[in-house]
Amino acid sequence: MADPLAILQKTWDKLKNVPKGGHVFGRIVGRMAPYTGTIRPIVRDLERGYARIEMRDRKQVRNHLKSIHAIALMNLAEVSSGLAFTYSLPPKTRAILTGLEIDYLKKARGTLTAECHCEIPETNERAEYVLEVVTRDTSGDIVTRARAKWLIGPLN
């Protein structure tokens, strides 16, 4: 069986310098995780221990208050933490999100950018990691701060 994380890593490595590669890679991620695809993530930067993901403001992600819906913001935090973390994992490692909490600090409008810096696991031994994701609007104001708990272990 092919290692899905290795495929993800190789795919980004091929697309990162291609024009619109971040859009294409975001669509691929959205096909792998269909609910994630609902926010149409755009990968702006992805490297070991770091991800910067963008989400554009559009009607499909808005709420009745004319701002971006709370769950769309949580979805952005999840994909940002997940990509930063899984891109960094050693071979033959599986990862699963076990918890996600978020603080909403400001109404979110316009294009948003979520960033996650994370510790890079050295082995695939079972362990839990807590990652922070900060999402900013175009003026640089923080709109959310999230904490994602990821559990890793060896791929069966």
Give me the domains of the chain, ranges plus CATH numbers. Answer: 4-154 (3.10.129.10)
- Cβ atoms < 10 Å from Cβ of 73: 24
- Note the pLDDT tens digit of each residue in 23-65: 998 998 888 888 888 999 999 999 999 999 999 999 999 999 9
Q: 0.85 cut: is pTM over it?
A: yes
- Note the pLDDT tens digit of each residue in 104-150: 999 999 999 999 999 999 999 999 999 999 999 999 999 999 999 99
Q: Are 63 and 104 in contact (CB under 8 A)?
A: no
2 confidence band (pLDDT: 50, 70, 90): low
Record the tokens describing residue 13, joined without a space: 């490595």
Nearest to 51 by CA among 18, 23, 30, 79: 79
